[in-house]
Amino acid sequence: MKTQKAPKYIETQHQRVNQNILAIQRNIYVNPVDKRMADNTRPDGPPPFDRPFEDEDTKQRVYGAVLHAREPMTAAEIADRADCSAESARTHLSFYAELGIVIRHEGRPVRYERNDDYFEWRRVNRLAQDHTVEELQRRVAELTDRIEVYRQEYDAASPADVDVLEYGADEVDDVYVALGEWATAIEERRRHERARRKVAGSKAPSHS
């Protein structure tokens, strides 16, 4: 059975758990209602994908292990990668699951995996915080133009519709690279459009 917090749930609960998320990088736990640490916490939440082990703390190592796992793993498997006890890993995994960062799969044994919806929400939220509606709109337009160029070049609606086997051996590598960039542009446009709508919605006049 898969227990997963939807992006909307995460967003509506963000204020309640914000201090806990920020505390991860400072290697501390704080109570959701304890505001004593609020002024000193870092604003960037859990560590980025490229440096999950930066502080070499147990919480960081568990975070990094589940972040890079390609499939659901048991607490013991994650503990092995994080170089800690299974009990310690289970404690930290439960904390991350409560925040919505990790998905807990019930069963025997219980397994854990990163919650991609949470990280997607973070990316969109960061874009919305760092850019104006106009900037986001320009980026959406740029990406739309780039995607259209790929569609015309390969005479296909999406990368999945392109048959790489139709190309010669000397072209295959370049085609794979282009299809990857095309897919990335589609994902990036989707995130920027979500961020644009978020910013535009937050600036809409209230009718209450």
Both 23 and 87 in one domain: the answer is yes
Both 97 and 152 in one domain: the answer is no
Q: What helix, strand, coil percent values describe the chain, rounded to 5?
A: 60, 5, 35
Q: How far is CA 85 from CA 58, 59, 76, 90, 92, in A?
A: 10, 12, 8, 9, 11
Give the pLDDT confidence score for residue 34 in this predicted structure.
34
- Entry pTM: 0.60
Whether residue 122 lies inside any domain: the answer is no
Give the pLDDT confidence score for residue 152 in this predicted structure.
96
Both 50 and 146 in one domain: the answer is no
The Cα–Cα gap between 196 and 203 comes to 11
Give the pLDDT confidence score for residue 185 in this predicted structure.
96
Both 144 and 73 in one domain: the answer is no
CATH number at residue 35: 1.10.10.10
Both 59 and 145 in one domain: the answer is no
Domain limits for position 196: 131-202
Per-residue pLDDT tens, the chain, 208 aa: give them.
444 544 444 454 444 444 444 444 344 333 333 333 333 333 444 545 444 444 468 899 999 998 888 899 999 999 999 999 999 999 999 999 998 899 999 999 999 999 999 889 999 999 999 999 999 999 999 999 999 999 999 999 999 999 999 999 999 999 999 999 999 999 999 999 999 999 998 765 544 3
Both 81 and 143 in one domain: the answer is no
Give the pLDDT confidence score for residue 203 in this predicted structure.
63
The Cα–Cα gap between 199 and 201 comes to 5
Whether residue 38 lies inside any domain: the answer is yes
Q: How is residue 90 written in tokens?
A: 């289970």
Residue ranges of E strands in 26-76: 73-74
Whether residue 123 lies inside any domain: the answer is no
| Number of independent structural domains in the chain | 2
Helices 86-99, 14-23: axis angle to 10 degrees equals 140
Both 107 and 140 in one domain: the answer is no
The Cα–Cα gap between 1 and 178 comes to 38
Give the pLDDT confidence score for residue 30 in this predicted structure.
36
Both 104 and 136 in one domain: the answer is no
Whether residue 120 lies inside any domain: the answer is no
Give the pLDDT confidence score for residue 204 in this predicted structure.
52
